[in-house]
Structure 1
């Protein structure tokens, strides 16, 4: 790869549909052509609005943001999800999901819940471009098989990698090897499609200012929320950040990953 090679970059906004304010910010930057993709939370309070508005942006891709850690599940049968929900039926967070005993009942409940999330978006008229997940739950080994089964069931070939681009001072050989193996399996099963690399916006920007990333395509995750860390994504996306990189980029959507 030489300095004239263009890196194809997907800017994907997570959490679309979480609430009306998130929708507002995501669609604002889509209109400005700063974001090329987004993933929708089917159990978010503004999911229906997000799907209704997505048709205004045919050049962008819209996927499903699978969620087992935030808000209310769509499942009517909460007994199977009891280890990861509270007395009000709400998801209790990532730690609960990570450390709950992965019984057959729970895994079946997880499969059914994630299936309902995909079905809801399809029923609203969304052509789902790809799969990713809230807090990267599709990377959890016990959850991964259910996600791959659903990917095959619904014919969604594109899926987000596990994060595999890190800052130099965050390098870890064992993690690198585990991620490489996981991503190989993720792509190999059912001939799935993804980018070469996946990371957050700040990491991509900091690396790209100093060196080549050595790939053809990268998915860059952003979150548009009004807390300190995530508000920085919103502000940086409106800058001329591309001109600070040592390589040229072309913004694409997941629909262009073949």
Structure 2
């Protein structure tokens, strides 16, 4: 197979413990890239930990800005984001509301607020990671909010207005039918994740022209239907067909893991969504970390 594969971990900077887990994977050469959140209170501490560990990395991972509009504190003045945050500056908007706002008259009001925050989060990450060139940005987002039409429009306008360029913006387009080829796995999937897959594929279709005009190379993401439980056994079963699908369609493949676990005692009012909290502290994150180690795909990719 000649498919370009990226073994990626989201949520560096979500908590100190989660970030230490990710750093362990980096030091052992298990990841090709990571996404960094800038709007959690532990951000500076996590950056310090990264710098201390960096000399132990066998290679320099690619770093993406993980735009976070779902949790944490805004970097903007909260008074300027009345539709996105509460009085403490903590995000309180839902994915669903942002999606529906994309088709409402209030769209431009929300977009103006989104642009302020997206710009500051990109600047915050780029400001401490010199590896992240503002002319070669890598961008994705917490819960894939950058795929929502109004958020995507805000992001692309920020890039254009600031004169920044992105070399990589995650297209959260995940092949659907690959998961149906293994009938023995049907009962292992959460139905709600199929809904996420379909909705994000819809958003991806809307964004294809923008991605192409921005020079983005076509890609697939793997990590939606199995989100929260990217385990070794199922990955081994599905990987050949996933690679075949990507190669056939001339797309690269980003395999997304969440190997960093947040400790229950790290949960504060920055974490505002109950469902998300359960995801952050879930022991399934340790399952994903184990899969990253057992599969050792990052090493194999680099040797191709």
Cα distance change of structure 1 residues 99 and 13 upon mapping to structure 2, 3 Å threshold: same
Question: What do the CA deviations read for 1:25-51 (whole angstroms, capped 9, x no partner)?
Answer: 001001111111101101022322443
Residues 221 and 254 in structure 2, CA contact (< 8 A), matched pair in contact too: yes
d(CA) in 1 for partners of 2:195 and 2:13? 34
Question: What do the CA deviations read for 1:158-213 (whole angstroms, capped 9, x no partner)?
Answer: 110123223226599976973662352242122224x5211114575442166653
Cα distance change of structure 1 residues 109 and 174 upon mapping to structure 2, 3 Å threshold: closer
d(CA) in 2 for partners of 1:13 and 1:172? 19
Q: Which runs of 5+ in 2 are unaligned?
A: 181-185, 187-193, 224-229, 262-280
| 1:15 and 2:34 matched | no
Question: What do the CA deviations read for 1:68-120 (whole angstroms, capped 9, x no partner)?
Answer: 110110001x2342222223221014345345564433211110101000111
d(CA) in 2 for partners of 1:26 and 1:159? 21
2:289 corresponds in structure 1 to: 234
> 5 Å matches for 1:158-237?
158-166=168-176, 167-168=179-180, 178=202, 181-182=205-206, 184-193=208-217, 196-200=219-223, 201-202=230-231, 204-208=235-239, 212-216=243-247, 217-223=252-258, 224-225=260-261, 226-237=281-292
Q: Shift of the alpha carbon at 1:9?
A: 1.6
Q: Which runs of 5+ in 1 are unaligned?
A: 243-247, 253-258
d(CA) in 2 for partners of 1:240 and 1:103? 43
The CA RMSD measured in Å over matched residues stands at 3.1
User: Given the two structures, how large is their TM-score scaled by the length of structure 1?
Assistant: 0.79
| 1:105 and 2:105 matched | no
1:94 corresponds in structure 2 to: 95
Residues 80 and 106 in structure 1, CA contact (< 8 A), matched pair in contact too: no
User: Given the two structures, how large is their TM-score scaled by the length of structure 2?
Assistant: 0.69
Cα distance change of structure 1 residues 154 and 50 upon mapping to structure 2, 3 Å threshold: farther
Greater helix share, 1 or 2?
2
Cα distance change of structure 1 residues 172 and 45 upon mapping to structure 2, 3 Å threshold: closer
